[in-house]
A = this chain, B = another copy of it.
């Protein structure tokens, strides 16, 4: 059938552009002027891709063809001369095939005509298996290799996908001071972009040392990132990359950096007039919002949102200073925060493709066992929030091959243990974490991944897989408590080595098992006391695992305790001067101790996506908004003040939003799509501006919400 999309868009083999762009992203990391690529397999696009479409045209029409690559065009199997940029399609039923080869950037196609336009309904393959016999008869037996095309937002024929770059805007330092013959520029808060040397006079070398803290920028021998530039009479050379260009009034550094402070030191008679920057950013909308009666909490939300904005780039990356890589455990939290802030679904998809890469699977995601499982869980969450089944159909084959890799590495008991080449991470912990044998948390995450496989197999019509993975999930789930539950300690223990159950309890498995529903309500209450609120159990000092810890407590109704924790922990960072949230924060540390990590004095990232979790917690557990069915077709709004006098905010949905305002006597809710339930507790009998309030017992009530109406409940 002919396409009737409003506009033509560039299309490609799904995942290929994302993986290619991701390599560019991941390969921008530098360490003190050295190129620093990831240590896992980097994949590449299919170099030859065929795009095709069955057409049924009422009249003939001329199409315009734009291609990234060398190509041919076949109409009904007949090759046409050359590489035409226009082609007249005859009326009637026809098959149009365009085959593109591009070794350098992903093969991409845009066709624009009165009715024929490239979009995600086109099919693509990297292997058309079309051969002819001696008599010239053609065979094509590769139907199973066809996929629906991938695309993004490249609708303009002149803007080729391979030329894409994030937008930039100029920013100036807010302060500068002389320091031992150099200048220390302060940009006022954590930022990201390209340093700009303005008004250079004289000749010599410039050393730029970057810092998220002034200590780092000033410590030229130990700062994490730097640039060295040689300025001659008429040329400027970047000494790390060898890139040389003509000397101009304004020299823009070639690679971006993260910093608040930059120290600029020149040799010879060389001097800059000023150091400014080109701020580079993802053009996302802040569709989520949160305000409350607590100004510290509001500031936490704002700094969290800024942290998310800085780490949301072409992909969701971990942190902006050091790795700048896409890491699965970090990304799965960015996705969740994203659903409460930007609702940028394409960025979730891109990040998911990049993390997965291509077959064959040769290691866990990012080499980390737990990160493989978070990759599956991220797809589970993505479908729940977006309802995007087309994406599931595209990614499902790679979900299967990833899970088959995991299943090829299970032990005799069907559990996963770290094998050669596996990094069992769990968390950066201020204390010993045993990584040997079967870790309870890994089995819990594995089980959730198998459940995700079964669900996605069902959604994509893979019945045999649904049965297989469902049975594996059931079998593993049934083993969790017998293997790890310690009745005496009232908790899941940390691990089992050689069949011997450990006596150590850590928080990890307990909190995940709790909100994955693997524990009875009774056991959930037990672990709240015995683990989550028990200071004798090794504490968590990364926002990464605090994310889940606080989520588990919220799910158990501990909103007041969590609010106090948020103010203490994230408020603690603000009190230390944070302008974005950190990779790790231990309130017991002091001064420059906060900057160190990985054995390096400034190794820690001070702008780390996983630091922004209040964005998610406040949206999901205080405003209380979450989807119950994919894409918010059915949702729940269960606002809880948790000690606040009032709060208000917005949670984005795929095509709309849910607004919530609550104080101690009134709740206002308005959803622009879907339908759902407002859930709340009330001491007295509540009243509603519309609908019937239903008592659920125990002071709990609910009220049906339809899209469009503002509901006001007094309670």
Q: Which chain A residues have a beta carbon within 8 Å of chain B's beta carbons?
A: 20, 23, 27, 31-48, 70-73, 79-83, 99, 101, 103-105, 126-137, 139, 141-145, 228, 239-242, 359-360, 362-363, 367, 401, 420-423, 428, 597-600, 603
Contact = CB atoms under 8 A, between A and B. Distances in A.
A143 B420 CA distance: 9
A367 B131 contact: yes
A599 B136 contact: yes
Nearest to A597: B134
Contact of A242 (B41, B83, B421): B83
A399 to B, nearest CB: 15
A41 B598 contact: no
14 contacts: A33-B81, A40-B129, A44-B103, A81-B228, A82-B239, A82-B241, A129-B363, A131-B367, A135-B599, A136-B600, A137-B599, A139-B423, A142-B363, A142-B421
B48 A47 contact: no
A79 B46 contact: no
Nearest to A71: B35
Contact of A603 (B136, B145, B228, B597): B136
Contacts of A228: 81-82
B131 A32 contact: no
Contacts of A134: 428, 597-598
Contact of A101 (B27, B129, B420): B27
Contact of A135 (B20, B40, B105, B598): B598
A32 B81 contact: yes
A79 B129 contact: no
Given A23-B48, A136-B600, 19 more contacts: A20-B103, A23-B101, A27-B101, A35-B101, A36-B79, A40-B129, A41-B127, A42-B47, A81-B228, A81-B240, A82-B239, A131-B367, A133-B598, A134-B597, A136-B599, A137-B599, A142-B421, A143-B420, A359-B359
Given A241-B83, A362-B145, A42 B101 contact: yes
Copies in the complex: 2
A71 B33 CA distance: 11
Contacts of A104: 103-104
A142 to B, nearest CB: 5
A23 B47 contact: yes
A65 to B, nearest CB: 12
Contacts of A239: 81-82
Contact of A80 (B34, B132, B401, B597): B34
Contact of A72 (B36, B80, B133, B421): B36
B48 A37 contact: yes
Contacts of A81: 32-34, 228, 239-240
Given A127-B362, A145-B362, A37 B82 contact: no
A463 B197 CA distance: 63
Contact of A360 (B130, B144, B359): B359
Contacts of A48: 23, 27, 37-38, 41-42
A35 B50 CA distance: 13
A127 B40 contact: yes
A143 B136 CA distance: 50
A83 B239 CA distance: 8
A23 B44 CA distance: 15
Which 10 A-B pairs have CB atoms at the shortest separation, nearest pair first?
A: A136-B599, A34-B79, A82-B240, A33-B81, A42-B48, A35-B72, A41-B127, A359-B360, A134-B428, A136-B598
A174 B35 CA distance: 57
A679 to B, nearest CB: 41
B70 A129 contact: no
Nearest to A129: B367
A531 B78 CA distance: 41
A47 B36 CA distance: 14
A368 B629 CA distance: 47
B46 A41 contact: yes
A597 B134 CA distance: 6
A362 B363 CA distance: 20
Contacts of A131: 39, 367, 423
A153 B421 CA distance: 34
Nearest to A419: B141
B242 A31 contact: no
Contacts of A141: 420-422
Nearest to A73: B34
A309 B171 CA distance: 64
A35 B144 CA distance: 25
Contacts of A47: 23, 42-44
A553 to B, nearest CB: 25
Contacts of A79: 31-32, 34, 36
Nearest to A430: B134
Contacts of A46: 41-42, 44
